[in-house]
Chains A and B, each alone.
Chain A
Amino acid sequence: EPEVTQTPSHQVTQMGQEVILRCVPISNHLYFYWYRQILGQKVEFLVSFYNNEISEKSEIFDDQFSVERPDGSNFTLKIRSTKLEDSAMYFCAGTGGPGQPQHFGDGTRLSIL
């Protein structure tokens, strides 16, 4: 069964540095999402992406964040200047349609020092 893959599994970065989290969605999916989960808290929606543009973003997703799907396969989340509070597990998800179940990757654990 095809899977969503995320790399790296763990990223350690100094505060203020840029970080890029990568995701390879399932090939026939059209809708893509990033979620994050701060340790001990709930999974929170960050952004949805469809047809090569952001379709919705949460208030967490400020100007420090950006997403793109440059080559039709990789779906990336960039944090321009990381803060301590960006430390979290970041999950990528995809689906063939907005009403269909989402398939999640294993997540990237981001640790900001």
Chain B
Amino acid sequence: AQRVTQPEKLLSVFKGAPVELKCNYSYSGSPELFWYVQYSRQRLQLLLRHISRESIKGFTADLNKGETSFHLKKPFAQEEDSAMYYCALKGSGNTGKLIFGQGTTLQVKP
């Protein structure tokens, strides 16, 4: 089965603290994984994808095939990082459909 699990509904940290948003997946084959972010009252936006291996807004995510994880990390959280974060897996086949996790709300307190 193809599945994405984000175990935390809410993660609350203080400004300047490290952040790790967990994402685990279930997929046979080579997965393609993404993190999308949704700021308050805005659309879902791509934050990063594992194949590009880049850092956006200080966030990074490393694909760990052994642990089937794609956790999102940032060393020092900022208040403007407060948002809903979704981990997504590109489904099998060539339609490009995305399979989303439940999402994690990140709340960064001043």
Contacts and interface: CB of A to CB of B under 8 A. Distances in A.
Contact of B43 (A42, A44, A97, A107): A107
A99 B99 CA distance: 13
Dominant SS among interface residues on chain B: loop
A100 B15 CA distance: 33
Interface stretch (B16-24, B57-65, B70-78, B87-95): B87-95
Given A42-B102, A45-B91, A104 B43 contact: yes
B10 interface: no
B99 A45 contact: yes
B94 A106 contact: no
B11 interface: no
A11 interface: no
Given A43-B86, A45-B91, A97 B44 contact: no
Nearest to A102: B98
B73 to A, nearest CB: 20
Interface centre among B42, B45, B98, B102 (most CB of A within 10 A): B98
A100 B90 CA distance: 10
Interface of B: 32, 34, 36, 42-46, 49, 86, 90-91, 93-103
Given A35-B100, A107-B43, 4 more contacts: A33-B96, A56-B93, A98-B96, A101-B34
Interface of A: 3-4, 31, 33, 35, 41-45, 48, 50, 55-56, 91, 93, 95, 97-107
18 contacts: A3-B43, A33-B97, A42-B100, A42-B102, A48-B96, A56-B93, A91-B44, A95-B96, A98-B90, A98-B94, A98-B95, A99-B32, A100-B96, A101-B34, A102-B46, A102-B96, A104-B44, A105-B43
